Structure 1
Amino acid sequence: MSKINIITFLGDRGALQTTYIHNKKEYVGGVFAEVLRQFCQYDTMLVCVTEKARENTWPVLEALGDSRIKPIDIPTGRSTEEMWQTFKIIAGEVNENDHVIFDITHGLRSLPFLVFLFAAYLKAGKNVTIDAIYYGALELGNFKTGLPAPVIDLSEFVGMLDWITATDQFIQTGDAQRLAKLLNPDGAASNITKKAATTLSDVSLATLLCQPLQLANKAQSLESDLLKAQEQLQLTAPPFEMLRQRITDTFGNFIGDFQQDTKKALEAQFRLIMWYHNNNRLIEAMSLAREWLINAVTHRLGLPFTLKISTRENLIARAISGVEMVSRNDLTVEELNEYGRIIHDTWAEKDKLIQLWNALRPVRNGLDHAGHQEGAMSVSKIVKTANEKIKPLLCALAKTWDFENCFESI
């Protein structure tokens, strides 16, 4: 069962009676932990104390006689080694799925930095929920005039880590599940923000399932949908603006319509292949590479783009494989179909095309069949072939066919 833990730090100079204000109510305490005890619900208060703090300040809390308050000995923090010790001590006191409230009012000036690292680790490593990060701003109160010190909750800044991590995950893997959830955490977001979350999910699904035609279609509205959502998120999620630009810069590269501009669409698909490859998504990269090659050869032959199997497989793929068979003397030129003869007789780059087809076929088949083939390629050979043969040959053919724009943003 999860618990609510307050993690607080004590200074070593004893107590100073101070009035704080939180949610329009005033509270008095010699140390801020006394104040937290008055307005926070919790199961355990873990009080981090150095040797001096235990001697000079801990007695203030000890005198309360509250069995939920527990002292935790930590080093002074004079070196990074001691700071790591503190990190390990605190992490060891928190369990999976717990809730945590941090207090950074007292302690060393490096404490806020460390607490944000603690929060990031606990969220990612133990699925902990950070309920609050409180700071009793002593310097903003005035003891002489009776102005109470405000209590500031800094936990929303931990949310920046969520936005950054979720965006990075989307850009590196295509998985936007976490990012979409941040946009619409409880399903009750505005229509504009909900639409942005839906568009992200649609783009993500098309990317994960290697559906470049649907990805190109869905990504067309990504920038405008995210831009509209940004206007509503300026106050609640300020980092979204910078992250939105990064998202649209990445996925905008994959937009292309074969019916309107085949060359531009081929360049967009090539960039997607390279994105898959550079992010270790070899299954998608190799699967799409074969389809792209058929698309590119079709375009090079002056034929319109088509999804008809009768054209893609029976004519174009057979033409490429036929030229490869001629090179092995397993077929004669006369036995090639119309397009195979064109490639064989007139294309100076036919050797590169054959080399790519030969390298791509076993890798793509091995990946798509999940290794369930007799004599399947080893993982190391798949990676080596993809890196050292397929990618260079793809790039060489793209340049030969004048797809220069496909190297932008790679």
Structure 2
Amino acid sequence: MKKLLTFLGNGEYDEGIYTYRGRKATKSRFVQTAIYELFCEKFTDKDQIIIFLTEEAESKNWKDSIGESGKNKGKKLEGMENAWKKINPKLLQQNQIRKVRIPSQQDEEHNWELFEIILNEIDEGDEIIFDITHSFRSFPIMALIILNYARILKNASLKNLLYGCWEMRDKGQPPTAPIIDMTEMISLLDWAYGVDSYKQTGNASVIKTLTNQEVASVFQTGQSSDDMRRTEANALRTLANCAHEFHQIMQTCRAPEIPQKLNNLRKALEQAKTMEIRGFRPFEKLFGKMEEKIEYLTDRPIMDDYWAAKWCHDNGLIQQGYTLLQEGIITAICRVMGMELDDVNKRKLVSAAISVWLSEKTTEEWEGTEDEKSFMKTVIAFLNPYKDLLKSYAGLTRYRNSINHAGRNRDNIPHQRFRPKLENYLKDFRTFFEKMDQLYQEKQEGASTR
């Protein structure tokens, strides 16, 4: 259902002509009738106009009255009821206009009462036009809160948030005043949520959705004829998509894809930063936050495996952080020793070699074939200088297994311990990654000089 929600105040309103984008409404004392004419063309006999009003406002402005002050003193003033009869008498006849009484007091208790009254007038899936012209005192702030709440709780949509700006009237007789559409202010709430979500989690899904909506509006409104505007829109859409994809690969532990997705994100960010961002001001504030999220990633593969695990910890992806950290240790060893990174059997043997080495089992206690034991001895010989740097490996394995097996492996670790322990393991293994990175870089430089 479509609904116009509006407020009737108790002021002695002057007659005027309200306008919007070159269109003029019928002369009236009431912005509400103008909004109906200019914004409610698609209303059917099932749609509603809901007028929130205090007892004083109804007494003073619903029926015709006599002016009490200024140039209106002694003059007959048309009430809102008759104004509606002039515009569309069927609205009253069909009970499409409803008056809803609200308290005139404004304190914490009555603000909650007002909140409930207005929210109760919004039903599931309603399409709302909200007029705040004559809402009193702090209500415009409350209106934003109510609208956002209704969108989430009742799946309502906001078509327009409107303000009849009588203060900007001209000196005509009767004066003409504009109606300002403030709907974009509601989208700032979405952007605020999207930015906060990205800051806290690195998740760009909300930003991606909002950007795609903004881009679509550029082309739908014909602004695509502006080549710069089109380029800007596409660049920001690419950036939002790249940020979203980067979070997805971290969320799903796609370590081999991290370098390419990171490179895509950096390129998209650099391109977007060169633009003026004329029509996407909320996005401009994101650039610094995006840079902060990826600034410590280095394009050095061993350290980037470490930083990927750190990124997951910092952004609340704890299970992924454990996985990437342990797999990063194995990958670092494989890189330095010149092994195929995706050889599953070799990776298992590297992990097993670390475990038996740290447990100080004798060779006879090792499991596997002679070839496998020989391979494990080679790994252990390589790692022997770094034993102290890997002493936490068994604990890391325990925590990773517990979280990956959903606590069903009889290792009853309280959930509160996983994040701080991951932070500890990141500190424990940083020096190991740095040592492996140094060896790998030396190996690469040596290969390049041969």
Output one character per residue of 1:71-90: Cα deviation in whole Å (capped at 9) or x when no partner.
22222352133222212221
- Aligned with 2:418 (options 380, 386, 390): 386
**Corresponding position: 1:215 with 2:247:** no
**Corresponding position: 1:318 with 2:352:** yes
- Residue number in structure 1 paired with 2:370: none
- Residue number in structure 2 paired with 1:339: 379
- Aligned with 1:366 (options 402, 409, 414): 402
Output one character per residue of 1:45-80: Cα deviation in whole Å (capped at 9) or x when no partner.
221112222222233333436221212222235213
Conserved? CA contact 1:174–1:208, under 8 Å: no
**Corresponding position: 1:103 with 2:139:** no
* Cα pair distance change 1:347/1:209, threshold 3 Å: closer
Conserved? CA contact 1:210–1:284, under 8 Å: yes
Q: Give secondary structure in 2 for the equivalent of 1:13.
A: coil
- Residue number in structure 2 paired with 1:68: 96
* Inter-partner Cα distance in structure 1 for 2:275 and 2:129: 28
In structure 2, stretches of 5+ residues that fail to align are 64-78, 220-229, 367-372, 438-450
* Cα pair distance change 1:53/1:228, threshold 3 Å: farther
Q: Give secondary structure in 1 for the equivalent of 2:123.
A: coil
**Corresponding position: 1:206 with 2:225:** no
* Inter-partner Cα distance in structure 2 for 1:285 and 1:273: 4
**Corresponding position: 1:290 with 2:289:** no
* Inter-partner Cα distance in structure 2 for 1:327 and 1:47: 81
- Residue number in structure 2 paired with 1:309: 343
Conserved? CA contact 1:87–1:118, under 8 Å: yes
Kindly state the Cα deviation for residue 26 of structure 1 after the two structures are TM-superposed.
Answer: 1.8
Which shifted more, 390-399 or 129-138? 390-399
Which shifted more, 137-146 or 223-232? 223-232
Output one character per residue of 1:312-333: Cα deviation in whole Å (capped at 9) or x when no partner.
525531221121221799958x
**Corresponding position: 1:269 with 2:297:** no
Which shifted more, 193-202 or 31-40? 193-202
Q: Give secondary structure in 1 for the equivalent of 2:350.
A: helix
Kindly state the Cα deviation for residue 121 of structure 1 after the two structures are TM-superposed.
Answer: 1.8
Conserved? CA contact 1:105–1:134, under 8 Å: yes
Output one character per residue of 1:104-159: Cα deviation in whole Å (capped at 9) or x when no partner.
11122322222222222222332221111111110100355654111110111211
Q: CA RMSD in A?
A: 3.2
* Cα pair distance change 1:279/1:193, threshold 3 Å: closer
**Corresponding position: 1:128 with 2:168:** no
Q: Give secondary structure in 1 for the equivalent of 2:129.
A: strand
Q: Which amino acid counterpart does residue 52 of structure 1 have in structure 2?
A: E
* Cα pair distance change 1:339/1:162, threshold 3 Å: same
Q: Which amino acid counterpart does residue 166 of structure 2 have in structure 1?
A: L
* Cα pair distance change 1:99/1:174, threshold 3 Å: same
**Corresponding position: 1:148 with 2:176:** yes
* Inter-partner Cα distance in structure 1 for 2:417 and 2:162: 54
Which shifted more, 147-156 or 171-180? 171-180
* Cα pair distance change 1:276/1:310, threshold 3 Å: closer
Q: Give secondary structure in 1 for the equivalent of 2:213.
A: coil
Conserved? CA contact 2:15–2:174, under 8 Å: no
Conserved? CA contact 2:250–2:312, under 8 Å: no
- Aligned with 1:85 (options 107, 113, 130): 113
* Inter-partner Cα distance in structure 2 for 1:14 and 1:147: 15
- Residue number in structure 1 paired with 2:54: 50
- Residue number in structure 2 paired with 1:408: none
Q: Give secondary structure in 1 for the equivalent of 2:3.
A: strand
Q: Which amino acid counterpart does residue 50 of structure 1 have in structure 2?
A: T
* Inter-partner Cα distance in structure 1 for 2:206 and 2:270: 19
Conserved? CA contact 2:127–2:157, under 8 Å: yes
Q: Which amino acid counterpart does residue 286 of structure 1 have in structure 2?
A: Y
* Inter-partner Cα distance in structure 1 for 2:181 and 2:362: 72
Conserved? CA contact 2:128–2:157, under 8 Å: yes
Q: Which amino acid counterpart does residue 239 of structure 2 have in structure 1?
A: A
- Residue number in structure 1 paired with 2:191: 163
**Corresponding position: 1:195 with 2:238:** yes
TM-score, structure 1 as length reference: 0.81
- Aligned with 1:4 (options 2, 5, 25): 2
* Inter-partner Cα distance in structure 1 for 2:361 and 2:181: 72
Kindly state the Cα deviation for residue 229 of structure 1 after the two structures are TM-superposed.
Answer: 4.9
Conserved? CA contact 2:4–2:131, under 8 Å: yes
Identity %: 22
* Inter-partner Cα distance in structure 2 for 1:162 and 1:269: 33
TM-score, structure 2 as length reference: 0.75
* Inter-partner Cα distance in structure 1 for 2:148 and 2:393: 46
**Corresponding position: 1:138 with 2:172:** no
* Inter-partner Cα distance in structure 1 for 2:393 and 2:404: 16
After TM superposition, the structure 1 = structure 2 runs for residues 385-404 of structure 1, keeping only pairs within 5 Å, are: 385-399=417-431, 402=434
Q: Which amino acid counterpart does residue 16 of structure 2 have in structure 1?
A: T
* Inter-partner Cα distance in structure 2 for 1:40 and 1:48: 19
Q: Give secondary structure in 2 for the equivalent of 1:349.
A: helix
Q: Give secondary structure in 1 for the equivalent of 2:337.
A: coil
* Inter-partner Cα distance in structure 1 for 2:300 and 2:109: 56
* Inter-partner Cα distance in structure 1 for 2:274 and 2:21: 28
